[in-house]
Structure 1
Amino acid sequence: MAPKRVFTALRAVASAVVAGAAVLLVSFTPAYADPTPTPSDIEAQIEQKWNALEPTIEQYNAVHGQLTANKAKAQALQVQLQPLQLQVDIAMSKVGDIAAGVYKGGRGSTVNAVLASSSPTSLADQLATLNMIARTQYAQISAVATMRDKYAADKRALEALIAQQARQDADLAAKKKQIEDQINQLQRLRQQAYGSSGAATGALKPVACPVEYTGGAGGKAAQKACSLIGKPYIWAAAGPGGYDCSGLTMAAWAAAGVNLDHLASSQRAQSRRISRADLRTGDLIFFGSDTHHVGIYVGGNWMVHAPHTGDYVRMVQLAGYYAKNVSGYGRPG
């Protein structure tokens, strides 16, 4: 496809992406007739906001990825332009030497016309009028100048697209932050509502669970895991009377419509790898180089897991022993 058509198509795609994002962002100011909203009321609003946030994040990732790739292309074009420009400069220097010789020979009027040219490309075109210069040299100079002009035109078009995508990137980032801030405000309200309703149940569930509610499959999986707190650890069990570690996470994600094997290492292979910075409610946390244990993240640096024989499904913080032995994070689905 011709460069001009490529840039036109990319520009159209980028514009469509941001146009779609613009309609997703609506006013998210919590408003309640009841001054004491229930946790379920707040969770319904979080679900709504999360559904708006995820497409915005995906659109931001798409534009940001295009922007990064196009910046790399522009840099590559600049690298290609440098030797081409040098070749043109050398060719022009040779032409100048030849033209000076012609001038001394008495053909000054023609040479003056050539030297008066302000454009390297037009200079190459006018060289055809100099009978003293071989056609092969003219062809070489013209070819290099044409190639240089092509790369320069491609680079200008790419730079224009980069400028447009940079604006779109900043706009989507602002929308993403705005929705995230609104979700965080609702999370604080939710924790207050759970606190007033006595959601904590002692050592097994010291705080509201999940600590951070999110919409989508991850939120549903985390809710299911939280509902199983207090069930006994039973080796090789996946409910309903008890669970082992991978049985718990399998049951949690089954509630979200995602099937996982009853084995921690298999669940790791079935999940998309993520970083600690990207960890969100519902993600799986794996332990040990041999992946011998797995828990499910419920927000706020807490996870739910089935520890070992004689214990119960419980919440624990990702600190101390648990923080030191994490070997990876995964997102099923």
Structure 2
Amino acid sequence: MSKRSTWTMAAVALVCAVTVLTAPGAAYAAPIPEPTPPSGAASAPSAAETRDLEAVRKKIEKLYHEAAVATDAYNAAEEKADKQSVEIVKLAQKIAAGQKKLDRIKGGAGAAAREQYRSGGVPREARLMLSGDPQQFLDNAGRMYQGQQATKNLLSELKRTQKDLADYAEDASAKWKDLEEGRKKKAAAKKRVEKQIKEAQTLENRLEKKERERLQKLEEEAEQKAQTAWLSSGVLKEIDGKATKSGKAAVAFATAQLGKPYVWGAEGPKSYDCSGLTSQAWAAAGRPIPRTSQEQWKQLKHIGVADMRPGDLIIYHDDASHVGMYIGEGAIIHAPRPGRSVTVAGAGSMAILGVVRPDA
């Protein structure tokens, strides 16, 4: 199948998805009341049961949010460690090259010292000057000066090389220290992630099948309510930006990942976390961006929601702990949380912090 056909099919799939997301009275409209169950059927949950389940939903949501924050910290530590490792390797190469240079300089200095020893402590140039031949004196005066300059330069180069080696060694030592501290932070973040996810999953596993189904319905209703409120503001009428070539490529990559599971710390190709998906999508489009949602928010250009175009990234929550890719028509593709897969969702289904543009 050609790339054009693949893109066309993906576009059709997205249009179908976002039509559901934005159609009045559809997925993000108020839920349709369920019919009264027939006599003998299981009764609907009571108001008290719903309140209890809603409290569980909020607790689970809080735990997964905390896990997302810890995941960002883990990813940041990992990215920093990768960069520091590369820098340490480069410093090691500089130290090796510097040591070779130092050995060469010392070899030259040793040769000069041996020459002076063989001449009884009187340099060869000085002996020529004392030969009594005026012409030879003039010729070798220049040679003597050149020799003195060469010796001076040799000593200066020796000092510079020794200083460079000392600086490289000090820099490498500092980076090793930072690397070790980063590893500790990464390990601590990993423990926090695993703890929060385990606690959330334990809460879900305590629920019976029907309760889990109602819990998922409550989650969907909360998202629908937020999306409906966002669309009701009329914001979609103002958004008409067209995707750039690189933006289309990023959207195409993200679309191809639909259905793949969320795994914290993952950046493909079989699974992703939220920023792993967006960073890999833009890398595939030829525009490398920061690995974490928080750094994406800090480093990429901020734009207004009304100026969004497909491929832009929407950053969510006050702590910038989640990110999704805008695909047009009020929808995003994102990797939601553990237990979920890469999916299409309403752009306003979560609290929007702001929008950033990778290809500004």
TM-score normalised per structure 2: 0.42
Higher relative contact order (CA closer than 8 Å, sequence separation 6+): 2
Question: What TM-score does the superposition give when structure 1 sets the normalisation length?
Answer: 0.45
